[in-house]
Amino acid sequence: MAALTKLLEVRSLSKKFGGVLALDRLDLSVAPNDILGLIGPNGSGKTTFFNVVTGIYPADAGSVIFERVDITQAASRTVYRAGISRTFQRSRLCLSLSIFDNIMIGNHKRLNQGLWFNLMRRSDFKRQFEESYQAARTLLDVFEPRLCDRIFEPAAGLPMIDRRRIEICRALINEPRLLLLDEPSAGMTHEETNELMDDILQVRDRKKNLTIIIVEHEMGVIERITDRCIVLNFGRKIAEGPYRQVAADKQVQEAYLGVAL
């Protein structure tokens, strides 16, 4: 079988909400192990793109192909099982649950969900629990070792940076092949963002098999970690290429600032 050149291939993807065309025949592709930046003014369709790929909204037209499998109309959980994980623009943690529980939600496909196993085979369950605890702890340790001792405390009351970290752990715990990051820097300082990005890259280096698409408004992040960018405006792709190139593009400047510099 030929080597996979495109991990994710999106062709002519369209999505309408009432009268608003949120995605307009979008073409996009990511190579394995790439880091792709997805930028554009507010409302340009970036989060909608994530939502359509992960099956939260059905696409109106076009196709999404992941590892040669068509997942265009796949349900959210099928997309997850295929190996795509995501974070959300506004932090969606279950605050009344413990940090461990929140991370484990992301581990769903690796945990035995059978009724008999969970209710009756308690010693086997205990073993899986302890393994999961170790895995969660190891991952969390990369991001914030101080959280590890509090891993069974509720996630409520933690500062935003810690919540983002937990969300990212939740997305990474099941070793996805594609990670969709939706504005991970929102609500954090420059230093915190840099630290977070470094940690994500550290995980990526360990796994050696992680592709990332990152939606961001903070251009410093995009410039630093992405190989390539795609700029959206009104749901259409208006530029593509390395960040420097794209930042100098007249159309992109107009989209953001209203006027070319």
Partner 1 sequence: MAEARQKTSAPLWPGLAALLLATAYVGTMLAAEKQRTIIALLGFGIAAILLAGWLRLLEPVGRSFADREDALGALSIAATLAIGGYFREDHFVLLLVVTVLLYSVATLGLNIQFGYAGVLNFAGASFFGIGAYTSAVLNTYSTVPHLLVLLIGGLLAAFIGSLLLLPVLRTRGHYAAVVTIAFALLLKTFLEVSDVLGGPQGMQVPGMKLLGWSFNDNITIGRLSLSFYMSYFFVSLLLLVAAFVLVRRLERSWIGLNLDALRLDETAARCFGLNVARWKIIAFLLGNFLIGIAGALFGMVGGFVAPNNYTFADSLILVSILLLGGIGNPWGLIVATLIVVVVPEKLQTIQEYRFLLYASLVIAVLLFRPEGLLPRPVRRYFPGWRP
Partner 2 sequence: MDAGLLAQYVMNGLMLGMMYALVAVGFTLFFGVLDVIKFSHGDVLTVGAFTALATFAGLRGIGIDYGPINLFAMLAVAILSMAALGMLIARLIVLPLRSAPALNVLLITLMLGTVLRESVRLFYPQGANPKPFPALLTQASIDLGRFNLRLDNGLMLAAGVLIIIGLQVLLNRTKLGLAIRAVAQDEETARTMGINFTAVVLITFAIGSALAAFAGVINGLYYNEINFSIGLYLGVIGFSAAIIGGLGSVYGAILGGFLFAGLQTIGTVVLPFASAYKDVFAFAVVIAIMAWRPTGLIQEKISERV
Least Å distance, CB 243 to partner 2, is 27
Residue 75 or 248 with smaller CB distance to partner 1: 75
Binding mask 80-119 for partner 2 (x = CB under 8 A): --------x-------------------------------
Residue 154 binds: one of partner 2, partner 1, none (C-beta under 5 to 8 A by kind): partner 1
Residue 59 or 229 with smaller CB distance to partner 2: 59
Q: Pick out residues in 29-68 that bind partner 2 (CB under 8 A).
A: 47, 51, 56-57
User: Does residue 174 belong to the site contacting partner 2 (CB under 8 A)?
Assistant: no
CA distance between the termini of the chain: 47
Residue 47 binds: one of partner 2, partner 1, none (C-beta under 5 to 8 A by kind): partner 2
Least Å distance, CB 95 to partner 1, is 8
**Which token pair is 122?**
């308690």
**Which token pair is 76?**
């959210």
Contacts of residue 97, defined as CB under 8 A and 6 or more positions apart, other chains included, come to 105, 154, 155
The owner of tokens 């040669």 is: 68
Residue 40 or 55 with smaller CB distance to partner 1: 55
Least Å distance, CB 183 to partner 1, is 16
Residue 104 binds: one of partner 1, partner 2, none (C-beta under 5 to 8 A by kind): partner 1
SS3 label, residue 31: coil
CA angle 157, 51, 207 (to 5 degrees): 70
Comparing CA positions, the residue from 149, 189, 150, 186 lying closest to residue 168 is 186
In whole angstroms, what is the distance from residue 10 CA to residue 237 CA?
A: 12
Residue 33 or 118 with smaller CB distance to partner 1: 118
In a 10 Å sphere around its CB, with 0-12 CB exposed, 13-18 middle and 19+ buried, how is residue 37 labelled? buried
Least Å distance, CB 48 to partner 2, is 9
**Which residues sit at the interface with partner 1, rule CB under 8 A?**
54-56, 75-77, 79-81, 85-86, 88, 92, 94, 96-98, 101, 104-106, 108-109, 111-113, 115, 118-119, 122, 125-126, 129, 133, 137, 149-154, 170
The answer to whether residues 14 and 23 touch, using CB atoms and an 8 Å cutoff, is yes
Q: Which amino acid does the sequence have at 203?
A: V
Residue 47 or 85 with smaller CB distance to partner 2: 47
Helix (H) or strand (E) segment spanning residue 139: helix 122-143
DSSP letter at 44?
Answer: S
The answer to whether residues 82 and 211 touch, using CB atoms and an 8 Å cutoff, is no
Q: List contacts with partner 2 (CB under 8 A).
A: 47, 51, 56-57, 88
